[in-house]
Amino acid sequence: MGSGQLVAVFGAYGHTGRFVVAELAARGYVPVPSGRDARALQELAGKHGLEARVASVEDPGSLDRALAGTAAVVNCAGPFATTTGPVIEAALRAGIPYLDVAAELEANLDTFAHYRERAREAGAVIVPAMAFFGGLGDLLTTAAMGDWTEADEAHIAYGLSHWHPTTGTRLSGAVSRERRGDVRLRYRGGRWERRTDAAPTLRWTFPEPLGVREVVGEFTMADVVTVPQHLSIPDVTTYMTADAVRDVAAADTPAPSPADGSGRSDQTFLVEAVVRSGGVERRASASGQDIYAVTAPLVVEALERVLTGRTRAVGVTSAGEAFDAPDFLRALAPHLTLTHHPRAT
């Protein structure tokens, strides 16, 4: 457990950041809430009896002060296109690990492209997209691969009961659309393709109780960035239930609202990873409640493994590369149900 170690949480007062603060405290760490909104920070810090440290990505000195004396930093502040670079730079100056919960493709791609060599040379650990999008799908895909060293294709399907987006999700989506314009990205033949046609709609057979659902294919999420970084799979595709896509696209869809004492919403999810090689198929899937809330145990479990030396890589690394994927997933048993274990068919 944390044994009182200080962990900076940048963007701690955001929807996901609050779950991360609570999870850190529950595991014995001392969260250090940080961000630019002094009033929101003081409110959060006062509630938990913590020290707030105001910091802005425009002021490197303030970031250095926010990270001073901490064992690591978790970046929960979107849009990540704006925050990842400055917070990573501050973590490198402080000599501490950096983890984030970014689901923005461009931010994730930038992190791998810009920091891979620097972080490896410094012996630093940087784990982007250590969240529901990016981390979980990567872990499931890696677990499904088992002893395979390569596969022909990987498919990760998201079955959400609904998707009520946070303010951060909407802001991050707007930034991505601004950077990308009318172009969408997909990963084929070991390279990124920029497409201007509409993403296909098809049907996906999820494990029960979800069953057959309409999904938007090539709904490219952070997993499509993280998986090919360490697995030899030339085609990686993600899918999203069509109802959830309509929810997140609609301007009048409400933000998540708490349905239990922990603050989780009543949203449920089922994520299935399928890898195929030479006509053989392997699958792994997991289900749970609230995609934002479950990000907290994902990133804090990763943090704990980094701080206790249970990693398999240094530099910029994804969940499946850095950690023992089956063991990591088993450790999440209080938060996830592995509903369909890896098997060959």
What is the spatial distance between Cα 96 and Cα 6, in angstroms, rounded to a whole number? 11
Per residue in 313-331, is it b (16+ CB within 10 Å) or e — as a string?
ebbbbbbbbbbbbbebbeb
CB atoms within 10 A of CB 10: 29
For position 1, what pLDDT does the model report?
A: 65
Helices (H), the chain: 15-26, 38-48, 60-67, 80-94, 105-122, 137-145, 167-180, 223-226, 242-249, 295-307, 319-322, 325-331
Supply the DSSP symbol for 111. Answer: H
For position 345, what pLDDT does the model report?
A: 43
Residues forming CATH 3.30.360.10 domain(s) in the chain: 132-291+325-340
What is the spatial distance between Cα 341 and Cα 337, in angstroms, rounded to a whole number? 10
Pairing of strands 280-289, 268-277: antiparallel
CB atoms within 10 A of CB 248: 16
Dihedral-angle region of residue 65 (phi above 0 means left; psi in -120 to 50 means alpha; beta otherwise): alpha
Dihedral-angle region of residue 35 (phi above 0 means left; psi in -120 to 50 means alpha; beta otherwise): left
Please state the CATH superfamily assignment of the domain spanning residues 132-291+325-340 in this structure.
Answer: Dihydrodipicolinate Reductase; domain 2 (3.30.360.10)
Helices (H), 201-294: 223-226, 242-249
Dihedral-angle region of residue 50 (phi above 0 means left; psi in -120 to 50 means alpha; beta otherwise): beta
In order of 63, 75, 112, 132, 175, the CA distances from 16 in angstroms are: 20, 10, 23, 11, 18
> What torsion do the CA atoms of 127, 131, 137, 139 make, to the nearest 10 degrees?
50
CB within 8 Å of 195: residues ≥ 6 apart? 183, 184, 185, 186, 218
Q: Is the dihedral of CA 136, 137, 138, 144 positive or negative?
A: positive
Q: Is the dihedral of CA 281, 294, 260, 4 positive or negative?
A: positive
Could you identify the residue written with the tokens 């001073």?
68
For position 182, what pLDDT does the model report?
A: 85
Please answer whether residues 144 and 224 qualify as being in contact, where contact means their C-beta atoms are separated by less than 8 angstroms.
no
What is the spatial distance between Cα 259 and Cα 98, in angstroms, rounded to a whole number? 31
Residues forming CATH 3.40.50.720 domain(s) in the chain: 6-131+296-322
| Angle value at C-alpha 169, between 193 and 248, nearest 5 degrees | 80
- Of 3.40.50.880, 3.90.1200.10, 3.40.50.2020, 3.40.50.720, which CATH number belongs to 6-131+296-322? 3.40.50.720
Consecutive sets of 10 residues in the chain, 345 residues long: mean pLDDT of each? 89 97 97 97 95 98 98 96 97 98 95 96 97 98 97 98 95 86 94 96 94 97 97 98 97 96 96 97 97 98 98 96 97 89 48
For position 163, what pLDDT does the model report?
A: 98
What is the spatial distance between Cα 116 and Cα 200, in angstroms, rounded to a whole number? 33
The per-type count for the chain, helices as H runs and strands as E runs, is 12, 16
